[in-house]
Chains A and B, each alone.
Chain A
Amino acid sequence: MKNLSKGYVIIASRSVFFYKSALYLIESIKDFYPDAKCCLVTEERFLDGYETIADDLLLCDDHLRAKLDGMARSPYDLSFYIDADCEVVHEDIEHVFEELGEYDVMFTELTDDRAYCFKEIHFPAGKMTLCGGVCLYDMSRPIVREFMRDWYDLTVKQYDKSWWPVDENGQYDYANYPETLSRWDQFSLWWLVNKEPKYKNLKVGIFDDDARWNYYSKYIKQHCVKPIVIRHFSDSKVKSSL
């Protein structure tokens, strides 16, 4: 059995809030798991000396795509990406890597009973079910490395409008795939997982009791059984607080 390295990937680009919040998140991981390896991906302009809390540091640019670029460059075999606007609140964070099992990548889910918390899930041609707030993946597997790179590449094209699903006339199919979806990296994820033949054998899983690994502060119902491990503060008021 391979001895796989394990670590957490946190990406902070575009705003100083994400940088401060990312440092806080890393500290909160280490509160519960002092030996955790954490990689911070951030912009050079934010560095203030406190980034040394991270065990590994990668630099990125100030584009939305920085998230997927950072995920694809993770220095760890078993990587657990967490959105920067989160905090860890339970010791089970240490055991997250055991959740992967035989899967290649693992997410939490955008379920209908949580839809009140999300802006856009359904569209005429389908439904986004995978949430990009956290992602557990095994970079030691070539298919996963390729998938992460393709997710990044496709999202870059999606953001700059040089890619979109086309209809039978070769035109961008906004009837089935409304343009509003283009702001979500979860849409490029949906496309790769559901429409890209290359990844039909990619083993994509959902965490057991998944909400505990990515518990949105806006949840107003109980969505998990076991204790919450990660709280996610995606509200814009929180983001404007620093």
Chain B
Amino acid sequence: MPNAFWTNWKLQGEDQSSITALKRISEERTVQITSSEESDDYKAIITEWGVERITKNTLQRCQRKEKEKSQRRLLDEQKKRSKDLEELFTYKLSVFQTDSIKKSNNRKIKSKIRKAKSLLEAQAIATILIGIEQGIIDEKPE
């Protein structure tokens, strides 16, 4: 029964009361089983693998799982960032279809909208420009 590891090693602090391992149940089929201390499977795995080897395998598995988790987290963060960037780009394009912004000659503020790094920043600057164009806000002379 290969790939044996302590099932609850991390969860319950180096616990050895349960083992998970692959068990071949027929020529074509292998299943993952979890066995507790009293079971025959548990005893058979201990005999075949030895405690030390199971512990080593468990530690390697924990490390691998940690690495996978951190990679997944990084990937999720990057996917979110990618989605945020697409939303920001879409927003900026749509802002420039708004009449008062489209027709504005205020190149300086329009450029700031394009260079905005977040949706909030782009929205805030766009709002200011609309305010200026509609005479609600006075733009101070440079």
A24 within 8 A of B: yes
Instruction: Mark each residue of chain B from 62 to 105: 1 if its CB lies under 8 Å from any CB of chain A, else 0.
Output: 00000000000001001100100110011011101100001000
Chain A residues within an 8 Å CB radius of B86: 217, 233, 235, 237-238
Query: Which residue of the partner chain B has the closest CB to A218?
Result: B82
Are B110 and A27 in contact, CB atoms less than 8 angstroms apart? yes
Q: Complex: how many Å from CA A95 to CA B62?
A: 49
Chain B residues within an 8 Å CB radius of A27: 110-111, 114
Query: Which residue of the partner chain B has the closest CB to A85?
Result: B89
A218-B82, A231-B85, A235-B86 known; A241-B114 Cβ under 8 A: no
A20 within 8 A of B: yes
Query: Which residue of the partner chain A has the closest CB to B81?
Result: A220
Choose one: A20, A221, A235; the contact of B97 (CB below 8 Å): A20
* Main DSSP-derived SS at the A contact region: mixed
Residues of chain A from 222 to 241 with CB closer than 8 A to chain B in the complex: 231, 233, 235, 237-238, 241
A28-B114, A87-B114, A241-B90 known; A217-B85 Cβ under 8 A: yes
Chain A residues within an 8 Å CB radius of B79: 220
Q: How many residues of chain A are within 8 Å of chain B by beta carbon? A: 22
Chain B residues within an 8 Å CB radius of A235: 86
Instruction: Mark each residue of chain A from 85 to 123: 1 if its CB lies under 8 Å from any CB of chain B, else 0.
Output: 001010000000000000000000000000000000000
Are B114 and A20 in contact, CB atoms less than 8 angstroms apart? no
Q: Complex: how many Å from CA A35 to CA B137?
A: 31
* Main DSSP-derived SS at the B contact region: helix
Q: Complex: how many Å from CA A73 to CA B82?
A: 34
Choose one: B82, B92, B97, B114; the contact of A217 (CB below 8 Å): B82
Tell me, rounded to whole Å, the shortest Cβ–Cβ distance linking B99 to chain A. 12
Tell me, rounded to whole Å, the shortest Cβ–Cβ distance linking B102 to chain A. 7
B56 within 8 A of A: no
Chain B residues within an 8 Å CB radius of A217: 82, 85-86, 89
Residues of chain A from 1 to 48 with CB closer than 8 A to chain B in the complex: 20-21, 23-24, 27-28, 31
Chain A residues within an 8 Å CB radius of B82: 217-220
Choose one: A24, A219, A220; the contact of B93 (CB below 8 Å): A24
Q: Complex: how many Å from CA A35 to CA B46?
A: 76
Tell me, rounded to whole Å, the shortest Cβ–Cβ distance linking B103 to chain A. 9
Residues of chain B from 20 to 52 with CB closer than 8 A to chain A in the complex: none
A125 within 8 A of B: no
Are B75 and A220 in contact, CB atoms less than 8 angstroms apart? yes
Are B75 and A31 in contact, CB atoms less than 8 angstroms apart? no
Enumerate the 4 nearest inter-chain pairs by beta-carbon distance, A residue then B residue, closest first: A220-B78, A241-B90, A31-B111, A233-B89
26 A-B pairs whose Cβ atoms sit less than 8 Å apart in the complex: A20-B96, A21-B93, A24-B93, A27-B110, A31-B115, A50-B102, A87-B92, A89-B115, A217-B85, A217-B86, A218-B82, A219-B78, A220-B75, A220-B78, A220-B79, A221-B78, A231-B85, A231-B89, A233-B90, A237-B86, A238-B86, A238-B89, A238-B90, A241-B94, A242-B93, A242-B94
